[in-house]
Each structure stands twice: as C-alpha cells, then as structure tokens.
Amino acid sequence: MGFGLALDSGSLEWAAAGAAALGYALLWPSLRRLPRPVAALRAAAAALLVLVLLKPVVHTLEQRSVKPRIAVLVDQGPGMQAVDDTGISRLSRAARWLVSHRAALESRAEVNLFAASGGARRLSWEDLAGLRPSPGVLEPAAVFSDVVNSGLPVSRVWLFSDGAFAPGAALSGGGSTHGAFKDGGPRAAAGGAALDSLSAPLDAFGVGPQRELPSVAVTEADSPDFVFLHSRFAVSAAVEVSGVAGRELRLRLLQDERTLSEKTFRVERPFEVFRATFPVSADGLGRQSFRFAASLADRKAEKSLKASRAFRIEVIRQKYRIMYLAGRPSMEYSHLRAQLKGDPNHELVSFVILRNPEDFSPVPDNELSLIPFPATEIFVDTLPQFDLFILENFAFHQFQLPAAYLENLKRFVSRGGALLVIGGSQAFTKGGYRGSPLEEVFPVALVPQSDDFIPGLFKPAVAAPKHPFLQMADTPEVSLGLWNSLPALDGYTRFSEVRPGATVLLAHPAEKTASGAPLPVVAVREFGRGKVMLVGTDSTWRWKLGGGLDWKLSSFYGKFWSRAVQYLTGSLELPKVKFSPLPDRMPAREPAVLALHVFDEHFRPVSGAELDLRVVWTVPGGAQRSPAVFESEPGVFQVELSRLAEGTHRVRAIARYRGQPWGEDSAEFRWEGGRGDLTLNRRGLKDLASRRGGKYSDLHQVDLNAALAALPPSRREQGVGSRRNLWSWPGWLWLIAGLLLWEWLLRRRRGWL
C-alpha cells in the first residue's frame, strides 16, 4: 500500500488560486517593510489559502488484478427467430448459452453485453431473457462503430450470429450471402473501416442447425449495374454446398435461359464454398437478364439440390462505331464525315471511292497511290464490329461484288445493327440494289427504272410531326417552325411504294410514289432487331450552309445527324434517367437504398449541380413521401427509404437538365419483413473472424476453455483504493484565522501597530 497526493481543482479553482497568488505578489514590496515574523505569518496564511483553493486530495494506492474485457455481441436480426432442429429459436439458444456459462465467463473476464442489429445497444444479464428479434438485419458498420464509440476498450469481441448480415455489408470482399440487393461500395467500406478500428480480435460463433443437411445455395451474384455495348465484363458467383462430399457441382451462367458458359467443381469436404468468374460480352442494348444455376452434375442428383440466382445488367453505349462508305467525293460526304468525326462519341471508319473500275488510267494500278477497295474487309470481316453502316451514293454493281456481301449486310441489320442509306445519282436502282437481298430491308420498294434520281430544288414536308426523331426543339410547334425554315434541298429519288410497317418522316411536297402515296425523302423501318433509315437525297449539306443565314438553324444540321445516329442505334429511346436493376423482392433491411443514374445525351454522368431532381415514393396504401436523396458520385444518386411497410413500393424519379425535361424512371419492388428461414452463413462469419485474427465455431461445438484461453491474462496494476479530500476539512479556516490572530497579537505586543 502507498499514498499519493493529487489536486482535485477545476479551472475555476485554479483561477481563484492564481488570483490570490498574484495579489500576494503585487503586495510583496509593501510586505517586505514589515518585521520578519509578521511577514512570515502573513505569507503562511496566504499559502494555506492557495492550497485550500487547489483542493488537495490524499489517496491510498493498492495493487489489484484486472481481468480482460470482452464485448459480447448478440445478433437480434430476423434470422435469429429460426427454430432449426433444436426446438428453440436461435436468439434464445445464444442467450441461454451465455447465461449457462456466465460464471465461467465472469471468473475469467469482464463481460459487456450488446444487442446487435442496426446498431449496438448495451444489455444487462437480466435483459438477455427478454431479448426479441428485431425487423432489421445486422449492420456490421453501425454495430462495430457503436462498440468502438462506447468508450470501453476491449481485449476481444465475441459475435453470436447466424451471419445474415445486411446485403452489401461484406467486409472482406466476399459480399452478402443473403439478399440480392447491391447497394454498392460505401456501405461495405464503412463496415470495413469500423471493423479495422476494432483493436481487438473477433471470434464468431455460428447459431444455426446442429445437423447439416445436404444443400446447394447460390449465395452471391456479383455483377456491374451498367456496362458499355460491345465491352467485355466479368460476373462472378459464390456457391455454398454441404453434405455432398465426393460429388460434382455444376454451375451455369444463363442469359434468357440460354447457357453462356458453365464450370464444374469436385466437392471434397463436407462444407465448401466455390467461386467462379465468367467473362460476358455486352452484345445488346437495354436491360439484359442473367441467371446463375447450380446443381449436382450426376444424373441421380436430387431435384431439391439445386439453386439459382437471377440478376440484371443495363447495357448502354460509350461510343458509336460507324462505317461510312461513299461512292464518290461530294459535298454531302465532306460535311457529314466532318460532322461524324468531330463528335467525340463517334468512332468513325470511312472510305470514299475515288476511281471506279471502268475509269481509264494511263498508268498501271500498282503505280497509283490509291489503296485497293477493301470490299471483303468492309462487308465481311469487320462488319460485326460496327453499330452503324452508312452507304452513300454507292453503286454496288460497278464493283461486281458477290450478292453474299449484301446478304451479310442484311443479316447485320436483322441481328441488331443499324443501316443508313443516302441517295444520289448512283444509289438505289441505278446502284444495283433492286432485287438484291438488301432491298428487303429498305423502308421502300425501288422503281424498275435506272434513272430514279431526279435533280431539282424542293423543300421537304414534315410527314410525321410527332415522331421523336423529328423533335428538334422543346415543343412540337417550335420544331415544326425550324423544319419549315430550312433551305431547299437539291435532287430526290423516286420509289415504287412504302413498305408496310415503315414510317415516312419527310416527304416531297408534290411528288408521289408509283402507288400514289407522298414520295418519301426520309423514311425509317425496323427490320429484325435493327433499324434502317433511307434518305433519298445527298444534299442535306445545304441545311448546314443555311445555318449561316439564320442563327436559329446554326446547329440544325449537326443535331439532325446526331439524332439520326442515336435513333438508328437505339440510344434516342434509351432512358437518360435510370434506376439500377432491383430484385422483385427487397431483403429486410432499413433503410432500403436504391441507386439512380442520370446521363447526358452522350451517356456521360450528370452532376447534381446541373439537375433539378425530384423523387416521389408511393408506399403500400397509396400515400406518397419524399425520400432522402444523396449524390454519392457525379451522376449517381442514392435514394434511401426508411420506415418501410410490407407490400409493394413504387419510386419515381423526374429530372430536368439545362432547364428542360430530361427524363424519368420508376422502380417497383416488394418489401417483406425479416425472414426466419435463412441458412447459417458460415462463410460470412468465417471471413469476418479471419479478418480480425479471430476464430469461428458453431455454437454447439464451442470449446469454452479454448475460447477463454485465447484471452490475455489478468494483469496487476496499482489503483486507487481510497481517497480523502483534505480541502473539505474545516480546520483549514481555523488555521488561517489562527495565523492572522497570531500576527495581530504579535504586533500589539511588540508595538508594531
């Protein structure tokens, strides 16, 4: 045992003591003239006053043993209400186990109990018996943060859980094993940061069935929300199998029920987790549906031992790949090529025919500086690499090319490619297309006469004013005014008739087809999965020159051809405001987080500073709310839905960009309360324990002695046994008064008054 002296004064007491000492110091010159006995008595009184103001404390020091502290986290998520094969719920099993081993635990450690779900809440031992499952699943980020912020340094953390973490809360790169909703990296990153802030190892105790039944489960499907057309990306899956050692597992990746790829694995242990990654090519625009299917590979496999997991990916364009083949140099080719090449979202390959086969040359072909016409490369080898193929005033028959080339171009369109055919004096019937395979995809039927191109000025009439392609301004009225203000075009092509299903966008103001309908100047048609546009003149460049005379038309030419590319390739109809794909049923967690993406016309992210964004949430029953919306990164907005009710929820987003209506999208999902039939997620718990240097064990197999042996030993430290406040003793005032009285008596007796 020892003793120690301390001062228990606060800032106010220190200020008072300092003021007293300062006052005495200021009076010191006058005190020096006093007799020494008087000055000494007055100094002693002042010193006692300062000491009392500083509140002296005397404490005894004792040696004592300090046990290590354990933070015990009991998962109270909805999965913990499952009964399994034990007859009682998982939560009750965990609570009973702790209560039954309380004496052993407290003899070895100081135990701090927490209930864990959306956060960590302190418990007493008496609270364990009344603990009930909560509707929200365990959120590792919030739970670990609460433990760290509790101010109780712990030597070890014990987690009693079934591993049904919040989706997206994978902390070691594994992902969630329950629920298909991907809410992205910030939540996982927060959980990982909170886990890293724990200075103690973490042991996980799995609360689940004691007897392992044979099972196969696709526990994870990892994929991007958005990918670019023609890109290759990877999707991965995690499959848990148990009770099927010695057999083969078959994992397939399907798109629209068509198998894209598959892998097989040999199951060697009673419980295993298999991971597989599959490369995928984005060949189609829009929302693509995929599915992982896992089953045992042998013929005698039980029908129940199979599982699947569906997911969806949105495919958008990054750049438009365009092949431009012109039959000869022209003003149309010069201006259109410059327009396409000047757009950073276009990847253009262009060829122009400078010399036809019948043209006379005074020198041999091998001495010319022209490259040979790469017909096979254009029509066969590289054709599938392009989104749009442009034929401008190209005479196919002049080069004596095989009809199979046009058949290949027809197949290109039917499989989703886009075709733009621009007229001229060498196109259509005169170019050798009548009766060819390619004529079958045209929006029109060609006339039999070869002199189908007629020169002459004309102003085309708008034939489909409400078609989205022709909307060149904010309103249909303004758009129609722009069309009527354009300069005249020069030259048009005669056609026999418009094919069924085709749409005439612009027509000649006076000429008719052979069947008597208005003669098309611009017409479109869908063929198979692709689109075809026909422009019966090669003089749209005159619109560009007209922009120099009227500022309202200055951007018309560029906008017309940009919209033509977007319409043909399907991007004009693609929404620029889009929710990430959602599962039909959202897992039980709050808040539910939806990701909303907003793109500009070139599918580049649009920041929130440039947007007027409104989100409306319709809850079951029809009431509407305004959810919280945060911009997590440029163009990506996080919509958080709290206080969810069971049933169907609808969320609608409306965006304005640059002061104009830009688009809207809606998402619908069904939310259900927490489920109590989730399997024990051993892999997730093992990953969690492994990351923090701890161990995993099933609750019914816990070796308590080994678990307690992992704790650090109790340590000896010197602590305060008792303390006494000296400053509260009333004798201090008597001492000060006695010193001052002694001084007065001394001065009277010696005559120093």
Architecture of domain 68-209+681-713: 3-Layer(aba) Sandwich (3.40)
Output the pLDDT for position 170: 42
Which CATH number does the domain 215-315 belong to among 2.30.30.100, 3.40.50.1980, 3.30.70.1560, 2.60.40.10?
A: 2.60.40.10
Contact 413, 387 (CB under 8 A): no
If DSSP codes are grouped into helix, strand and coil, which group holds residue 134?
coil
CATH fold label, 320-356+373-568: Rossmann fold (3.40.50)
How far apart (Å, rounded) are the C-alpha atoms in residues 85 and 517? 77
How far apart (Å, rounded) are the C-alpha atoms in residues 655 and 631? 14
**Neighbour-count burial of 753, counting CB atoms closer than 10 A to its CB (0-12 exposed, 13-18 middle, 19+ buried):** exposed
Per DSSP bridges, beta strands 388-392 and 320-326 are: parallel
Q: Do the two domains 320-356+373-568 and 589-671 of this chain adopt the same fold?
A: no
Q: How many whole angstroms from its chain centre is CA 88?
A: 39
pLDDT tens, residue by residue, 191-244: 555 566 677 899 999 998 877 778 888 888 888 888 888 889 999 999 988 888
Output the pLDDT for position 588: 62
Q: Indicate the length of the chain as a whole number.
A: 753
Amino acid at 484: N
If DSSP codes are grouped into helix, strand and coil, which group holds residue 597?
strand
In which residue ranges of the chain is pLDDT below 50?
A: 167-190, 360, 363, 367-370, 676
Per DSSP bridges, beta strands 518-527 and 346-352 are: unpaired
Output the pLDDT for position 191: 52
- Which pTM was predicted? 0.56
Beta strands in 186-270 (DSSP E): 202-206, 215-222, 226-228, 232-242, 248-255, 258-266
Domains of the chain, residue spans = 2-63+718-750, 68-209+681-713, 215-315, 320-356+373-568, 589-671
Which CATH number does the domain 589-671 belong to among 2.60.40.10, 3.90.870.10, 2.30.42.10, 3.50.50.60?
A: 2.60.40.10
